[in-house]
Chain A
Amino acid sequence: MVKAFATLLIHFALLTAAPPLLLGVINKTKAWFAGRRGPPLLQAYYDLARLFRKEMVFSRTTTWVFRAGPVVGVSAALLAGLLVPFGAFDAPVAFTGDLVLFAYLMALGRFFTTAAALDTGSAFEGMGAAREVSFASLAEAALFMAFVVLVRFSGSLSLTPMFHAPMTAPLHGLPGAAVFLVAVALFVVLLAENARVPVDDPNTHLELTMIHEAMVLDHSGPLFGLILYGAAVKLFLLSALLLHLLLPFSLGAPLLDWLLFVAGLGAIAVGIGVVESIMARLRLRYVPSLLIASAILCVFGFFLTLA
C-alpha cells in the first residue's frame, strides 16, 4: 500500500517536474559538440519561471481559441502521462485500450494548438500549423503501427503490459528483431512529434522554415510558458515509452529502478542532442518519406511477429 503510494507519488513528481530537464540535457550535449559551454542544465526552468511572471499580450484578432490552445495542450499531455508506465513501474492508470486514449489525447492537444495558431491570422503561424498537422498524420500512422506490433508481441491491449513485455519475454530471434524495428520507428516518431532535427530545428531563426516554433510566435507570458512546458512533457512521455524498448530489464530494487529510469531518459536526451549535432534538418518535402519509412519498418515488425 505504502509502496504503491510512493510509486504513485514519484510518478507524479517526475511527470510534472522532470520534463524541462531533458531540454537542458539536449542543449548541453549540443553545446559540448559545438565546443561551447552552453546554457545551464536548468535553463528551461529559469525560462519557465520568467515566463510565468510576465504579462501577456494578445493580438486583437484572437478569440478564446488562442487561450485554449496551450491550456488544452498541457492538460492533454499531463493526462496522457498518467497512462505511460515509467521504467519498471506500472502506470497509475492502465486499462484495456489506453493506448488509443494516449494517442488521441495527443491529437486533442494538436487540434487546439494548431487552431490557436490559425486564430492569430498570421501567415507564419498558419504555415507552422499546416506542417504540424500534415506530418502528424503520417507520424500517427507510424505510432499506431508500432503499437500494433507491441500488442501482438505482448498479447495485451494496455500500455503498461505492452511496454513491460520486453522485460519478461525472450528478446532473441524474430520477436527481438520486431521490437528493434519498433524502437527505431518510435525514435523517428519522437523526433517528429517533438519538432527536433531532422524534422524541425528548434533553434532556427527563420520563421519560414520552422514548424513548431512558428506556430507559437504570438503567444507570450504564462501561455507561452505552458506551451514550452507542454512540449517538454510530450518529449518526456515519448522518451519514457521508447526507453522500455531500449532498456528492457529491471534491477529488482525500486530505488535502483528509478535511478535507471532517470539515467535512461538522460541517455535518450543525449542521443537526441547527438542527432541534432551531427545531422542537418531535412528539407520539408523529404520529411514525409522519413515518416512513411518508419511506419513501414513497423509493418515489417508486424510480419515478423506473425511468423
Chain B
Amino acid sequence: MYLDLCLVAILLTAVSGVPGLGFGRRSAVGQGIASLLLVAGALLGAATALVALTSGTIETSSFCGALPELALHLRLDPLAAFFLVPVYVLGAAGTLYGGRYWRQAEHPENGRKLRLCFGLLIASLAAVALAADGFAFLFAWEISALSAFFLMTTEDDQSEVQQAGWVYQVAMHAGTLALFALFGLLWAATGSLEFHPLPAGASRPGVTSVLFLLALLGFGLKAGIVPLHFWLPAAHASAPSHVSALLSGVVLKMGIYGLLRILTLLPTPPTAVGMGLLAVGAGSAVYGVLFALGQHDLKRLLAYHSVENIGIIVMGLGLALIGVSAKQPAWAALGLAGCLLHVWNHALFKALLFLAAGSVVHGAGTREIDRLGGLAKPMAHTASLFAIGAAAICGLPPLNGFVSELLIYLGLLRINGDGIRGAWSVAPLTIPLLAMAGALAIACFVKAFGSVFLGPHRSEQAARAHEAPSGMLLAMLALALGCIGIGALPVFVMPALDRVIETWVRLDSPPPPLAELVPWPPLMGINAVLVVGALGFALLVRSRSRRGTPAQTVTWDCGYARPGSSMAYTASSFAQILVGLYAWLLRPRSLGAVPSQLFPPAGSFHTRVPEQVVEGVLAPLWAGFRRTLIPLRAVQHGQIQQYLVYVLVTLCVLLASLHPLGDILLRMLGW
C-alpha cells in the first residue's frame, strides 16, 4: 500500500513539468500547474515515507517488462523510506522557493526546462531509493544524474557554468562506470540482478574487496568524499540556489544511500574498512572546512561545507562498520544513528543556507562576500534565518547539528571508554579532528554571516538590497523550524532511526534502542533552558534600553570621526590567519600590485584558493592525455563513409568471435 502511494508520488513529481511545455514562454500557468503537482506529490511522498518509516514497513513489488531478465524490482524498507523523507521535504521547499526565485516571466528562456528537470530529479531520486535490482537502480541513477546536469546548467550561456557542468558530467559518468562494474560483478556472484546478500563463502575475499572499492569509487564520486569531491564546489555554486539546495541536500546523500545499501549485500567487512572510512571521513571534514574558509563566493563556501558534512556522515558510517566488525551493537547503533541523522540534518540546514544565499543573490545581486555587508538591516528575516542555519551547521546546541554530532562523538568515545582492545583502539584519535572541524566551521560561518549580514555595506549593491518575498521566506522558515525541532526535541526522531538501525545492523545481539544509549531528558532540559534563558536576557536588555532611548554613535575606531566601510574587516582578512596556517594545504594564490614607491599608484590585491584536486592533479593529467592521444584524432575525422567501414569491421569481428577461434582453425586445417 505504501509502495503504491510512493509510486503515485513519483508519477506526480515526474510529470509535473510536462504540462508547462504546452504553454507560452512567459505564461505563469505552466509554472502554477508544475508547482501544484510537485508540492502535492512531494507532500504525499513525504507523509507516506514518514509513516512507512515509523511503522518499519517492508514492501516489495516487481514489474515484468518485455524481457523477463529485466523485470524491475522495487522495495520499500526503513532505509529507503529514511532517504525518501529529505528528498520530498526539500523538493516541496525548493518548489515553494523557486516559484518566486525563478519566475517564468523573468526567465522565459529556461524556466520550463528547469521545472521539467526539477520534477524529474525528485522522481528519479525517489526511484533510486526504492530500486531493488541493479537495472532499476542504474536506470534511475542515470536519470537523476542527467536531470541534475540540466538543472545545474540552467544558465548555460555562462562559460563558468558550462565548465562546471562538463566536469560534473565527466565525474558522474566515471562514477556510473564503476557502478556498472559493481553490479556486473554482483550479478556474476549471485546470478541475479536483484539485490540479494552475497552468500557467505560464495566469493573469494579479493572479489569482496573489489566490490567494496568499486562502490566506494562510484558512490564516493556522487557523495563528494575527498579526494573525489573535485566537481562539487563549482557545480553547486553555479546552479540556481533552490537547485543548489537540492543538489547539496539530497543528491549527494544518494551516494551515502548507495554505500549503505551495498554494505547490506556484502559480508561483514574487516575492521580495517571501518577504520579507513573513519579516517577518510575525518580527512574530508577538515579538508572541506579549510577550503571553505578560503572562498570569497558565498555559494562556493557553502558547497565546500557539503564536503565537510559528507565527511562527518562518512565518519558515522565508518564507526558503524567498526561496531559491526567488533560485534559491538552499541557502537554500530551510535555510528549509524549519527550518520543517518546527519543526512537529514545536513539536508535541512544546508538547504536553508543555500536558500538564504539565494535570497542574498536575489536581493543584492551578487554572491561575492566582500562586496556585501550590512544586509541584516534591509534583509532582517533572511539574516535571522541564515544565522539559525549557520549555528546549526556548526553543531551548536540547541539546534539539530549538535544532536547528530553528539551521536558520533558518543560512539567514538565509547570505543575509548568501553576499554575493549582491538585494532579500533586508535579510532578515538579522530575525535579532535571532528572537534577541530567544528571549531573551524564556526570560524567560517562567523566570517560568512558577519561579512554578508553585519557591519557596514561594502558596495552600492549591498546598500540597495531588498528583502526576499514571502514565498521564499516561508520555504526557509519551514526548514529553520525543522532545524530547531530536531535540536530541541530529538527524542521524537530516535524511533525512526531505531527502525533503520534494526534492519541494517545484523549482529547476534540486537542493537539497543537509542533512548537507552543517549540520555535525552537532561540534554533537552539544558536546550530548553538555553532558549528560555537567552530570550529572558534579551527581554531584560530590551526593557532597559526602552527606558531611555540608548545613545547612538559611530563605531569606535581609535578616534576616527567617520569610519567607512573600507575600514571594516573583510572576509578575506578574517580568514587570513587560518588560511596562512594551512597554506601548505590550501596553496592560496595572490594577485595584484601592492603599492610600493613613495608616491604609489593605485594598488590592488586579490587572493583565491583554487580547488587543488582539479588544478593540481586533474588538469595536468588531462593535458597529458590530450597530448598523448592526439594522434588518435586521425581516426575520428567526420567522414561518414569511413565510419561505415568501422561499423562493418566491428560487425565482422563480433561475428567471428561468436565462433570459437579454435573451431575455425581446426576446420581450416581440414579436420
Contact = CB atoms under 8 A, between A and B. Distances in A.
Interface of A: 55-65, 67-68, 71-72, 74-76, 78-79, 82, 93, 95-101, 103-105, 107-108, 110-111, 114-115, 117-127, 129-131, 133-134, 136-145, 147-148, 151-152, 154-157, 207, 217-218, 222-223, 284, 288, 295, 298-299, 302, 306
Interface in B567-617: 567-569, 573-578, 581
B534 A75 contact: yes
Given A118-B446, A122-B555, A151-B417, 11 more contacts: A60-B555, A61-B554, A72-B534, A75-B530, A99-B413, A101-B402, A107-B394, A118-B455, A121-B563, A141-B436, A147-B413
Given A93-B522, A152-B417, A108 B396 contact: yes
A58 B552 CA distance: 5
Interface string B173-193: 000000000000000000000
Nearest to B565: A121
7 contacts: A93-B522, A97-B413, A107-B396, A107-B439, A115-B450, A118-B455, A119-B450
Given A115-B450, A136-B442, A55 B455 contact: no
Contacts of B652: none
Nearest to B401: A104
B442 A111 contact: yes
Interface string B447-490: 10111011110000000000000000000000000000000000
B556 interface: yes
Contacts of B426: 306
Contact of B438 (A59, A78, A95, A140): A140
B554 to A, nearest CB: 6
Given A75-B533, A140-B436, A141-B436, A56 B551 contact: yes
Q: Name which of A104, A129, A151 has the most chain B CB atoms within 10 A of its CB.
A: A104
A111 B436 contact: no
A126 B396 contact: no
Contacts of A130: 443, 569, 573-577
A115 B446 contact: yes
B166 to A, nearest CB: 35
Contacts of B438: 104, 107, 140
Contact of A63 (B376, B418, B541, B574): B376
Interface stretch (B19-27, B197-205, B493-501, B542-550): B542-550
Interface residues of B, number: 87
Contacts of A107: 394-396, 438-439, 442
A58 B550 contact: yes
Given A60-B552, A119-B450, A152-B416, A144 B569 contact: no
Nearest to A67: B541
Given A148-B432, A288-B581, A61 B450 contact: no
Contact of A71 (B376, B397, B405, B537): B537
Interface of B: 373-374, 376-377, 380, 383, 387, 390-391, 394-397, 402, 405-406, 409-410, 413-414, 416-419, 425-426, 428-429, 431-436, 438-440, 442-443, 445-447, 449-451, 453-456, 517-519, 522-523, 525-526, 529-530, 533-534, 537-538, 541, 544-545, 548, 550-558, 563, 565, 567-569, 573-578, 581
Contacts, number: 263
A141 B406 contact: no
B442 A119 contact: no
A302 B569 contact: no
A212 B72 CA distance: 63
B283 to A, nearest CB: 14
Nearest to A120: B555
Given A148-B428, A223-B541, A61 B435 contact: no
A71 B534 contact: yes
Nearest to B566: A123
B574 A120 contact: no
Given A61-B456, A104-B402, A133 B394 contact: no
Contacts of B450: 114-115, 117-119, 126, 129
Given A144-B432, A157-B417, A114 B446 contact: yes
Nearest to A295: B432
A253 to B, nearest CB: 29
A75 B425 CA distance: 37
Contact of A100 (B406, B451, B557, B574): B406
Nearest to B445: A111
Contacts of A74: 537
Contact of B519 (A75, A97, A140): A97
Given A129-B450, A141-B433, A302-B428, A155 B417 contact: yes
B567 A138 contact: no
Given A121-B455, A123-B569, A136 B556 contact: no
Nearest to A60: B552
